[in-house]
């Protein structure tokens, strides 16, 4: 069988080799990683000297190369979401109250601190040229993003939370030096929660100069009154409950996660 194997890619990182192997497997192509056993027994002993070779049967070579090429040409943020299994398929009730065939399970990303840090680095790149002193994140997902982004940009940090249905700046924060802020959020569908945060900050005398997000999945343009900077725009259809085609077809509804926020 080895005579029929061809190498289509080489990796120095076992994680990337395994990811590519699983990507091909998901597309019905059996792949093998040459030197994987040696690498696992002696990791880091000869960094850069031992190539992990991704191999497939010769008859699968063309298709496998095309799949890898498409993946490698995909924007980095989307590759991060894919490898962390963030995009879910089914019938979901979104926090906006709308129904969708897809759900972005951000918790899967936050379980990977390294990739989360990389996402925050990308958010930092979007915000670095803006004049502000504080990064604000709405509870709960936005807290992680805001804190790490603030750390990277050497800015202040605070977060908002909903108390008895009202968006509020978490008590205890010293706001005396907070004049200009940016908001970081993970997934934006309608932008309702972010608009509540903006209103809350304005009522506290804080100007919002930009909003940054991982994914904009809105179906209509959102006006925050300031620049909106998503890392990725995804066209994911959603429906009001009364018009949901998935409900009409009797597909069971899933309520993912738990949150008291309403977008």
CATH code of the domain in which 6 resides = 3.30.70.790
Of 10-14, 100-104, 252-256, which range is least confident?
A: 10-14
What is the span of the domain harbouring residue 47? Answer: 2-73
Statement: residue 263 has pLDDT above 50: no
Q: How many domains does the chain have?
A: 2
8 A C-beta contact, residue 195 and residue 149: no
Give residue-wise pLDDT tens across range 13-58.
777 788 788 888 888 999 998 876 555 555 555 454 567 889 999 9
CA separation for the pair 207, 168 (Å, rounded): 16
**What residue has token string 């709960």?**
140
260 part of a folded domain: no
pLDDT at 256: 83
Q: What pTM did the predictor assign?
A: 0.73
CA separation for the pair 20, 13 (Å, rounded): 11
Q: In terms of domains, do 49 and 111 share one?
A: no
259 part of a folded domain: no
Share of the chain above pLDDT 70, in %: 90
Q: In terms of domains, do 108 and 210 share one?
A: yes
pLDDT at 2: 56
Q: In terms of domains, do 226 and 118 share one?
A: yes
Q: In terms of domains, do 24 and 119 share one?
A: no
8 A C-beta contact, residue 14 and residue 52: yes
Q: In terms of domains, do 38 and 98 share one?
A: no
The number of helix segments (H) and strand segments (E) in the chain equals: 9, 12
Q: In terms of domains, do 39 and 169 share one?
A: no
CATH code where residue 239 lies? 3.40.50.2020
202 part of a folded domain: yes
The domain boundary, picked from 73, 103, 120, lies at 73
78 part of a folded domain: no
């Amino acid at each position: 069988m080895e005579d029929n194997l061809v190498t289509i890619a080489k990796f120095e990182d076992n994680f990337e080799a395994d990811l590519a192997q699983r990507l091909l497997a998901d597309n019905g192509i059996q792949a093998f990683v040459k030197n994987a056993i040696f690498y696992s027994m002696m990791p880091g002993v000869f960094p850069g000297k031992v190539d992990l070779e991704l191999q497939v049967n010769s008859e699968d070579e063309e298709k496998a190369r095309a799949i890898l090429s498409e993946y490698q040409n995909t924007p980095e943020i989307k590759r991060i979401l894919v490898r962390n299994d963030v995009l879910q398929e089914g019938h979901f009730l979104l926090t906006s109250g709308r129904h969708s065939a897809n759900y972005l399970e951000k918790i899967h990303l936050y379980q990977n601190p390294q990739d989360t840090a990389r996402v925050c680095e990308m958010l930092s790149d979007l915000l670095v040229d803006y004049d502000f002193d504080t990064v604000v994140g709405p509870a709960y997902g936005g807290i992680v993003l805001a804190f790490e982004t603030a750390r990277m940009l050497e800015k202040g940090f605070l977060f908002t939370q909903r108390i008895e249905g009202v968006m509020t700046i978490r008590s205890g924060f010293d706001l005396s030096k907070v004049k200009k802020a940016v908001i970081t959020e993970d997934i934006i569908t309608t932008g309702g929660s972010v608009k509540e945060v903006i209103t809350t900050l304005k009522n506290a005398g804080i100007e919002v100069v930009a909003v940054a997000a991982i994914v904009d999945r809105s179906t209509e343009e959102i006006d925050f009154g300031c620049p909106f900077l998503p890392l990725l725009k995804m066209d994911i259809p959603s429906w009001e409950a009364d018009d949901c085609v998935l409900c009409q077809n009797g597909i069971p509804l899933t309520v993912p996660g738990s949150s008291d926020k309403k977008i």
